[in-house]
């Protein structure tokens, strides 16, 4: 899918709130929010489809294949989630933690999501060291300080990998409500037999989630969290490939990068590989077929 991109810039979170309200009136929905990034001055940059008709048709997997429309130093958000109550969770560039406005930006976008009855927005793929944060009015906690990154929200809680670890961890919403903060209550729910988990697919699809590991890919079923997580597919692959998402009823969004102790670095925009009838086990064959000759 070819998407012509329009860039909007806002000087601060208050201007962003007004701008998003105006963009909604012009037809923008969370599906059409392609990239969100901050520059070192704290200004906010949004990328949306130039053609309003594409707002309704662009899909998450297709977003992940897009190239950011700006050059230079930018700190990207990967996803923003509304949690029960007034809390917000966001993943993105670790350097977002250096910005005084990142938490406000996440909060403004979370409030904007309510107008579409959306619980989250998934954004394009950009290369950076991963960070994850939990926040509510007056409080922000960087989850990556305890090693938790690539957070994925499920119907009952939050899944995350831990840096340099082979386990997938889970924080139930019930435990979060009891503690009032995410520092405690995490439990291990799955162990990879392919080495440390380097990347987690950005959202659960049909109760399935792909984990990119040191020695290949694993697909798991998370229907029965936290009691039972089932491995449904395993693919041995050379290091450097990762699955960041998939098109609903379609292809996998596959990125490439360099393996580091904390995950994959130098990520490329994803390429869409496979078809609606293909499983994760068939991905290597699809990658070979898609390779330039």
Cβ atoms of 62 and 22 within 8 Å: the answer is: no
Closest CA to 132 of 100, 106, 168, 165: 106
Closest CA to 198 of 231, 161, 226: 161
Rounded to the nearest 5°, which phi and psi values hold at 204?
-80, 135
pLDDT tens string, the chain, 293 residues long: the values are 678 899 999 999 999 999 999 999 999 999 999 999 999 999 999 999 998 788 878 888 889 999 999 999 999 999 999 999 889 999 999 999 999 999 999 999 999 999 999 999 999 999 899 999 999 988 999 999 999 999 999 999 999 999 999 999 999 999 998 888 898 899 999 999 999 999 999 999 999 999 999 999 999 999 999 999 999 999 998 888 999 998 877 789 999 999 988 898 888 888 888 866 678 888 888 777 766 54
The residue written with tokens 């701008």 in the block is 19
For the whole prediction, is pTM greater than 0.85? yes
Largest CA distance in the chain: 56
Closest CA to 121 of 173, 210, 11, 47: 47
């Amino acid at each position: 899918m070819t998407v012509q991109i329009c860039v909007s810039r806002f000087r601060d979170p208050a201007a962003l709130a007004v701008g998003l309200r105006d963009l909604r009136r012009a037809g923008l929905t969370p599906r059409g929010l392609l990239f969100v990034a901050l520059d070192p001055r704290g200004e906010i940059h949004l990328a949306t489809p130039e053609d309003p008709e594409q707002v309704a048709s662009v899909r998450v997997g297709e977003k992940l294949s897009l190239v950011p429309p700006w050059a230079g130093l930018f700190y990207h958000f990967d996803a923003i989630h509304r949690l029960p109550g007034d809390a917000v969770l966001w993943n993105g560039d670790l350097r977002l933690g250096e910005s005084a406005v990142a938490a406000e930006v996440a909060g403004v976008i979370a409030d904007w999501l309510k107008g579409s009855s959306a619980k989250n927005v998934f954004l394009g793929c950009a290369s950076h060291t991963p960070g994850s944060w939990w926040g509510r009015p007056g409080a922000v906690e960087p989850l990556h300080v305890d090693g938790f990154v690539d957070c994925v929200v499920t119907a009952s809680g939050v899944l995350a990998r831990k840096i340099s670890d082979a386990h997938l961890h889970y924080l139930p919403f019930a435990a979060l409500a009891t503690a009032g903060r995410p520092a405690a209550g995490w439990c291990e729910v799955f162990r990879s037999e392919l080495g440390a988990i380097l990347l987690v697919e950005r959202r659960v699809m049909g109760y399935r989630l792909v984990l990119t590991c040191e020695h290949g890919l694993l697909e798991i079923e998370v229907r029965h969290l936290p009691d039972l997580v089932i491995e449904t597919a395993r693919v041995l692959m050379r290091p450097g490939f990762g699955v960041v998402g998939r098109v609903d009823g379609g292809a996998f969004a596959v990125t490439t990068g360099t393996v580091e102790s904390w995950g994959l670095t130098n990520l490329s925009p994803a390429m869409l590989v496979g078809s609606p009838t293909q499983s994760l086990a068939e991905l290597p064959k699809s990658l070979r077929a898609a390779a330039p000759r």
